[in-house]
A and B are shown apart, each in its own frame.
Chain A
Amino acid sequence: MIKNRVICLLPFVVSVLVIVQYLLMPNFREFTPLDQNAPTYVWVWVMGAFAATFAVWNIAAVFSRRVNNRLRKKAPLLAVIFLLVLIYDYATLKSGILPQPFVPWPDAILNAIIRDREILLFSLGHSLRLLFTGYGIGVALGIFTGVAAGWSLKVRYWIQPLTRIFGSIPPVTWLPIILILASSLFSGAVFLIALAVWYPVTSTTMNGVLSVPKSTFEAAGTFGVSKVGMIFKVAIPASSPFIFQGLAQGMSIACTALLIAEMMGVEAGLGWYINWQRGWAEFAAMYGAVVIICITFFAVNAVLDLTKRRVLRWKQEV
């Protein structure tokens, strides 16, 4: 079908258009060679790489039906994304319609990332360390209290009001208090993130354990499963779909808490970097950090989702 072929080619066509516009259309103002935002070929290389990928993909699609189906499915979305890039480039570098210098164009953002790569890498490392320390502690405690609360009526009596309170109050509310009381800014932020993660993991785990049919435990009992085995080999796997729900919720809250903690108190990490560059009116660098944050959080959630799909293979639909 000729129509399908054209749709498949759209991402390639649009990304070439981005390059053509960038190279041939006059900019909204002149740049001196000393201007650090002066247009470079970095953007051309990046868009060229995309265009080449789409070209190879299209060629492969001619030979493989599977590749073709996948491309046909993704092509409209990709074409629109690159169309938006084209419009963004036009609205900033080419026409200056969007207020300058507050909205930098892609080439300037990429160059800012390259220029500041060392400090950005260090900030990224610091953010990830903070995120995963807090997340890990929150998840471990959440699963522990969740299983205990699902298991025992007495524990549930005490845990449930706690999850109700923390569930209705955004965890960052406690940030000022935590930062005053904590021995270091890092440990304070870890505590905040762990607290933010603890609540959703606890309540979903508890609901998961409560939803396991009694007969599942009874059947396990007839095989002589011990008390400890009931928890680790029956209750936790049986409630794993619920636990993963909590892990995903917890991750999005943890990411929010991380950025707020870094912007308000912790003097390192990507959140801090954004604030710092804003103070210097380095908008391209600020946008660069935003881009890195988006990519990082997207990747972290993608890994979590992949793990979930693997672990929950046994579920009818995930």
Chain B
Amino acid sequence: MKGKLEIKNLKKTFSRTDMTGTLCAIEDLSLNIEAGEFVSVIGASGCGKSTLLRTIAGLETPTAGEILCNGKEVRGTSPDRGLMFQEHTLFPWLTVRKNILFALKSSKRFGTNGNIVDSLIGTAGLKDFADSYPHQLSGGMRQRASLIRSLAVSPDVLLLDEPLGALDSFTRMVLQDEIIRLWKERGNTMVLITHDVDEAIYLSNRIVVMSPRPGRIAEIVNVPMSYPRNRGASDFANLRSRLLKRLNFASDTEQDYYL
């Protein structure tokens, strides 16, 4: 089984242009993610979760520490580690089908995966839009097309950087089910960055809670519920309030702020 990620003592600092010194985005972070696992990372803005994901993708190089994917050190981007952004990154000059073919040909996986293009487009409900250009699609359809384009190359790990953040809540719920179905079908590792606690609980096996400045892991929470999950169940609600408390958005004492 491929798709195992090992993050060892990762540190990432950025030099700042507005002041001397550096900004520490991630400080001494270690995390193992098993092959086929679905892990979500939540935390307030600026806790380094996006930096973590970009470093796993190979778009940033670690300042210290290392990341291993399938036991090999991550150096630069690779089709083994797909990345999906909040804004769709479909190439606007290509149709949906050609976007997917572009990904397949660039990653030299056309030979093995060329035959699944149409079925992927079909399962994403984009059959009638295969030859449409991205600007002709709705926001939800664009993200769906982005998702199947990322999956078409069969990455061992798919990194999702708030992929549903810009969508309305109904479309978001539909796409969450879609993501689970595709993940179950293909068995790859998923790492999701999200602001949405419900989304994290609904989708993942494990939730990593990060705390900001410098970014480090505050807590790792297992989600022992079976799929498909019920958003209204009591253990769902319990977990939600526990996570919100951890993120300081809810308190069990009445005392909050004094003005």
Contacts and interface: CB of A to CB of B under 8 A. Distances in A.
Interface of A: 213, 215-216, 218-225, 229, 233-234, 237-238, 240, 313-316
A315 B135 CA distance: 8
Contact of B106 (A216, A220, A314): A220
B51 interface: no
Interface residues of B, number: 29
Contact of A225 (B57, B59, B85, B106): B106
B89 A218 contact: yes
A313 B89 CA distance: 19
Interface of A is mostly: helix
A237 B135 contact: no
A229 B77 contact: no
A238 B91 contact: yes
A212 to B, nearest CB: 10
Contacts, number: 65
Given A223-B79, A223-B106, A314 B94 contact: yes
A187 to B, nearest CB: 37
Given A219-B85, A229-B106, A313 B133 contact: yes
Interface of B is mostly: loop
B133 A314 contact: yes
A22 B88 CA distance: 65
Given A215-B87, A233-B102, A313-B133, A222 B94 contact: no
Contacts of B93: 237-238, 240, 314
Task: Give the top 9 A-B pairs by smallest Cβ distance, nearest first.
Answer: A219-B89, A221-B77, A223-B106, A314-B133, A223-B103, A224-B79, A225-B106, A224-B107, A314-B93
B140 to A, nearest CB: 18
21 contacts: A213-B87, A216-B89, A216-B91, A218-B57, A218-B83, A219-B83, A220-B91, A220-B106, A221-B58, A222-B78, A222-B83, A224-B108, A229-B106, A237-B93, A238-B91, A314-B92, A314-B95, A314-B134, A314-B135, A315-B135, A316-B135
B254 to A, nearest CB: 44
Contacts of B103: 223
Contact of B78 (A213, A224, A238): A224
Contacts of A225: 106
